[in-house]
Amino acid sequence: MTDAPLTALADQGEYAEAVQLAVSAAAAYYGAGDSTLDDDAYDRLVRGIEAYEAAHPEHVLPESPTGKVAGGAVTGDVPHTVPMLSLDNVFSAEGLTTWIAGVERRLGRPVEHWSVEPKLDGLAVSARYRNGRLAQLVTRGDGTAGEDVSHAIGTVLGLPERLAEPVTVEIRGEVMMTAAQFGAACDKRRAHDGTTFANPRSAAAGTLRAKDRPYVCETTFFGYGALPLPPDDRGELAVRLRELPHSAIMELVAELGVRTTAATPVAGIVADSAERILSRVEEIAAARAELPFGIDGIVIKADSAADQAEAGFGTRAPRWAVAYKLPATEKITRLLRVEWNVGRTGVIAPRAELEPVELDGSVVKYATLHNPADIARRGLMLGDSVTVYKAGDVIPRVEAPVTHLRTGEEEEIVFPDVCPSCGSEIDKSQERWRCVRGRDCKALASIEYAVGRDQLDIEGLGRNRIVQMMEAGFVADFGDLFSLTRDQLLSLERMGETSTDNLLAAIERAKAQPLSRVLCALGVQGTGRSMSRRIARHFGTMEAIRAADAEALQEVEGIGPEKARLIVPELAQIAPLIDKLVAAGVTMTEPGFTPPGEAAGPSESAGSAGTPALPLAGMSVVVTGAMTGPLAEYSRNQMNELIEKAGGRASSSVSASTSLLVAGEKAGSKKAKADKLGVQVTTPEEFAKLVAALL
Ligand SMILES: NC(=O)c1ccc[n+]([C@@H]2O[C@H](COP(=O)([O-])OP(=O)(O)OC[C@H]3O[C@@H](n4cnc5c(N)ncnc54)[C@H](O)[C@@H]3O)[C@@H](O)[C@H]2O)c1
Ligand SMILES: [Zn+2]
């Protein structure tokens, strides 16, 4: 990404509005930590403002955030000894090498050493120590003067009240919250007023400035600089601080007892080439997701004091340092729904369905919510704007609701009161809820699915019966159904002779179901009814399906590499179940299938040249409305099976490529659409004639 995305501003009015929005967002961001924008949205807005100003210099408003520390939105009354500036940004390796070349051009010589350290995602603070005692804490403010937040002394981990030596010095660094501190802060705030913080950064910002909170939250400080503090700015330490390279100053800071990132996996290093800088950038980026605190980039600084002094400062940022920005890992989006999934061991895990949002290179639609207690703790509601976190390969997670964006329309999240998979009770004694059936839950749900009408269609086998059989130890999976004995069934409560014989007969009949339904009954991910039919028709036998690798599977229409890679191992995993079915004599072939080799000519697919006589060959058919006549009893799935048996492709929506619409009674919008598109429409009776040979 060379051109960073920006919010396009059409005219002076939009420009003025954008400036106003950016200034108030920045004031909220650096103030109480309750901005309505996520960083990405803010950065796009400011880039839009910059672009507009470049094209219309005559319209530039004095309050514009561009070129100012903190967007010019904050002020302070404690002057800084040396300005506390922002950092310029680069976004790519090319950006970095260009920037390095610029610095070296300015200096007229190569920079020998660079220090490379994480860019901590908190807020900058200056800690003034006098004679070794922490005397004053000051925020960055507008860069020239900040706000006194000394009231926070004693709550900031890593910033000792006494240094190891009685020196007078100013330490600069970042105040932030670790994941654990953030969790604790949210708990406290919820207990106090029922709301939470949107993310660790805003929690740290709000906490640092809060004066009269009835609860105290802990934060963490990481130092990234030290400078002489007047009036003591001529002593031995002051001289050293002016002469030492940055890396040595960082060692000194740590020796004084202040926390630095040295003890973390992303410790600062000294690099002597662009290659080494870039490899460290990669290392830090890779470690990011696992860190217990947030970073939003990597800071690269000329290490030597002489290089820094010669490069100097711009108005907004030093010229000897730059931030290599990493993609945003957090965005604000909406929580649409919560779904409850039951895992292999019976754990019932909530998952958030989100308004899709692009995050760290992928579109996020779902995020983990951990467990019900966690949802309650975070005070999440349906319809909430939420902060969502994702970095690298981690599973995206919902961090917190953005409570100041609530509209009043949000709704409570309803927790399930029975297991959503099998309908059994839920064991709620632990934070992680579990189906009381544990591992058997999945088994119960999968047997229930397998015997369903569109799969093996075993009548008279409801959930309670299956539970009975499982509890008696007769069945563990649906393959066991085929070895049930009459005596076993009769031993079950409420099971008479007639129902026993009926059930045994239904089970016997199920053995004759075609491969497509047997495959579907297996419940392999991504193989629903129509996909199972397609796979069965393509391969013809279970043997061929089991022998297929991911590549062969992709020959089936609708199976891409991703799906193929899911199906292959899952089929392998349930091999014992399939073997059991084979041994029981369950049908493992698809009727009407002609192996490609035996068709007329070396045809690739069984459906086309192999079976030219089928009445719907090559047609895409949609069914709508209620069936009548000979097809009156056909379910939608059976209609689709019929279409495919007749060589057609069953589809659920009408488009220009639809060949035929079978419109039954009360056909509605699909019929209208077919008429509009000029798609051929037929009645169920006419259609029955067309496929009469197959009924
Ligand atoms: N969401 C919003 O409404 C909103 C509003 C304003 C700003 N922002 C965000 O803030 C960012 C710009 O703000 P900024 O100017 O405060 O910060 P910056 O990202 O431009 O970087 C400068 C800051 O980096 C920090 N830093 C962290 N690690 C450091 C290290 N090792 N060495 C030196 N400095 C280090 C310091 O606090 C320093 O002040 C943007 O990315 C923007 O997205 C968001
Ligand atoms: Zn269950």
- Write out pLDDT tens, residues 346-403: 999 999 999 999 998 889 999 999 899 989 888 999 999 999 999 877 889 999 999 9
The predicted pLDDT at position 194 comes to: 86
Share of the chain above pLDDT 70, in %: 97
| CA nearest to 121, candidates 367, 393, 330, 321 | 330
Kindly give the distance from the C-alpha atom of residue 162 to the centroid of ligand 1, in angstroms, as a whole number.
Answer: 28
Residue 580 annotated as lining a ligand binding site: no
Residue 87 annotated as lining a ligand binding site: yes
The predicted pLDDT at position 234 comes to: 85
Q: Per residue in 667-684, pLDDT tens? A: 888 999 999 988 999 999
Q: Is the CB of 324 under 6 A from ligand 1?
A: no
Q: Is the CB of 204 under 6 A from ligand 1?
A: no
Can you say how many angstroms the Cα of residue 430 is from the centroid of all Cα atoms in its chain? 26
* Cα–Cα dist 522/515, whole Å: 11
The predicted pLDDT at position 171 comes to: 98
Does an H or E element contain 338, and which? Answer: strand 330-342
**Can you give the residue ranges of every domain in the chain?**
12-73, 79-325, 438-510, 515-598, 620-694
Residue 598 annotated as lining a ligand binding site: no
Catalytic choice (119, 331, 390, 442): 119
Looking at the DSSP bridge assignments, the partners of residue 363 are 358
Q: Is the CB of 320 under 6 A from ligand 1?
A: no
Q: Which atom of ligand 1 is nearest to the CA of 70?
A: 15
Residue 40 annotated as lining a ligand binding site: yes
The predicted pLDDT at position 601 comes to: 40
Which of the following CATH numbers is that of domain 620-694: 3.30.110.30, 3.40.50.11690, 3.40.50.970, 3.40.50.10190? Answer: 3.40.50.10190
Q: Is the CB of 73 under 6 A from ligand 1?
A: no
Kindly give the distance from the C-alpha atom of residue 493 to the centroid of ligand 2, in angstroms, as a whole number.
Answer: 22
Q: Which of the residue ranges 134-138, 269-273, 317-321, 609-613 would you say has the lowest mean pLDDT?
A: 609-613
What's the predicted TM-score (pTM) here? Answer: 0.73
The predicted pLDDT at position 596 comes to: 55
Nearest CA to ligand 1 atom 23: 86
Q: Per residue in 32-49, pLDDT tens? A: 888 999 998 999 999 999
Q: 3-state SS string over 439-474?
A: HHHHHHHHHHHHCCCCCCCCCCCCHHHHHHHHHCCC
Domain covering 79-325 in this structure, CATH number = 3.30.470.30
Confidence label for 488 from pLDDT (cuts 50, 70 and 90)? very high
Statement: 438-510 belongs to CATH 1.10.150.20: yes
Mean pLDDT of the region 394-419: 93
The predicted pLDDT at position 576 comes to: 93
Evaluate if residue 481 carries a pLDDT over 80: yes
Kindly give the distance from the C-alpha atom of residue 46 to the centroid of ligand 1, in angstroms, as a whole number.
Answer: 14
Dihedral of alpha carbons 14, 20, 21, 26, sign: positive
Q: How many residues in total does the chain contain? A: 695
Evaluate if residue 608 carries a pLDDT over 50: no
Q: Is the CB of 43 under 6 A from ligand 1?
A: yes
Q: Per residue in 109-141, pLDDT tens? A: 999 999 999 999 999 999 999 999 999 999 999
Residue 419 annotated as lining a ligand binding site: yes
The predicted pLDDT at position 3 comes to: 56
* Cα–Cα dist 633/638, whole Å: 9
The predicted pLDDT at position 2 comes to: 39
365 is an active site residue: no
Nearest CA to ligand 1 atom 28: 119
Q: Is the CB of 174 under 6 A from ligand 1?
A: yes
CATH fold match for the domains 79-325 and 438-510: no
Q: Is the CB of 140 under 6 A from ligand 1?
A: yes
Q: Per residue in 168-211, pLDDT tens? A: 999 999 999 999 999 999 999 999 988 889 999 999 999 999 98
Kindly give the distance from the C-alpha atom of residue 529 to the centroid of ligand 2, in angstroms, as a whole number.
Answer: 23
> Which CATH superfamily does the domain covering 515-598 fall into?
5' to 3' exonuclease, C-terminal subdomain (1.10.150.20)
Which of the following CATH numbers is that of domain 12-73: 1.10.1410, 1.20.58, 2.60.98, 1.10.287? Answer: 1.10.287
Nearest CA to ligand 1 atom 9: 39
Kindly give the distance from the C-alpha atom of residue 245 to the centroid of ligand 1, in angstroms, as a whole number.
Answer: 23
The predicted pLDDT at position 532 comes to: 94
CA-only gyration radius of the chain, Å? 34
Burial classification of residue 63, based on how many CB atoms lie within 10 Å of its CB (0-12 exposed, 13-18 middle, 19 or more buried): middle
